[in-house]
Amino acid sequence: MTPLENEINALKKELISMWILVQSQLNKAKEAMVQFDKDLAREVLVKEKRVNSFELKIDRDCENIFALHCPVAVDLRFLLAALKINTNLERIGDIAAGIALYVVESAVNFDVKALESTSILRMYDEAVNILIDTRSAFEKEDTVLARSIFKRDDVLDAINMNAPEVIGELIKANMNNMPEALYMLSIIRKLERVGDQSKNIAEEIIFYVEAKILKHFESGKRRVEGEE
């Protein structure tokens, strides 16, 4: 392998390691929420610093490869995509930390029935699975799997869209539920953003593998389909 190929491979491994860490952060934040485990939630907050350190190191490594090797073609596309994927992963890490912070701040346990009625648990599982599949698409350079993310994100969007009505019903049933209900609404909003970040990652995978830019094409296509 050439020096550039070695550095590209090392960068890919770094991104995958960051992916696994962010996925772990999301899973631990969910467990902390369900079990109302404030210690586990604090662990997520502490490890957020590791996510931030990963982001900074990957950014520096990309800059060094640009400076030393002047990559072109697929190598250039990979580096451009890696920079954006790095940012998306860091934002998902922020989301996990935000959910953990709600657990730390909440004075009452999240009611299991309320979590089920709001579809948070289903939404959480789907968000984590989408993140796992974007990693698989990245590792295998599988653009078919990457494209499947766009449709699967619709599930998260639908739950998010219905959330105000469902949360409103919880509050009307018992006004004492208001603080807990508002935390749950915020968590739903954050999980919807996990889907958005995952879609961004899927677009970058397709860009570097196929040299196609989908950011505006996909949103424009959805608008046209909605008009028909």
Structure tokens at 174: 């018992």
- CA distance between the termini of the chain: 51
pLDDT above 80: residue 220: no
pLDDT above 80: residue 217: no
pLDDT above 60: residue 23: yes
pLDDT above 50: residue 224: no
**pLDDT tens, position by position, 141-179:** 999 999 999 999 999 999 999 999 999 988 888 888 788
Q: What is the rounded CA–CA span in Å between residue 29 and residue 101?
A: 9
- Residues with Cβ within 8 Å of 182's Cβ and at least 6 positions away in sequence, in order, are 167
Give the mean pLDDT of 52-73. 93
pLDDT above 90: residue 83: yes
Q: Where are the domains of the chain?
A: 3-223
- CATH number for 3-223 (one of 3.30.565.10, 1.10.274.10, 1.20.58.220, 3.40.50.720): it is 1.20.58.220
Q: What is the rounded CA–CA span in Å between residue 105 and residue 51?
A: 22
Q: What is the rounded CA–CA span in Å between residue 67 and residue 56?
A: 17
Q: Report yes or no on whether pTM surpasses 0.85.
A: yes
Count Cβ atoms below 10 Å from residue 144 Cβ, excluding itself: 9
Q: What is the rounded CA–CA span in Å between residue 184 and residue 115?
A: 8
pLDDT above 70: residue 223: no
Predicted pLDDT at 110: 83
Give the mean pLDDT of 40-59. 96
SS3 sequence of the chain: CCHHHHHHHHHHHHHHHHHHHHHHHHHHHHHHHHHCCHHHHHHHHHHHHHHHHHHHHHHHHHHHHHHHHCCCHHHHHHHHHHHHHHHHHHHHHHHHHHHHHHHHHCCCCCCHHHHHHCCHHHHHHHHHHHHHHHHHHHHHCCHHHHHHHHHHHHHHHHHHHHHHHHHHHHHHHCHHHHHHHHHHHHHHHHHHHHHHHHHHHHHHHHHHHHCCCCHHHHHHHHHHHHHC
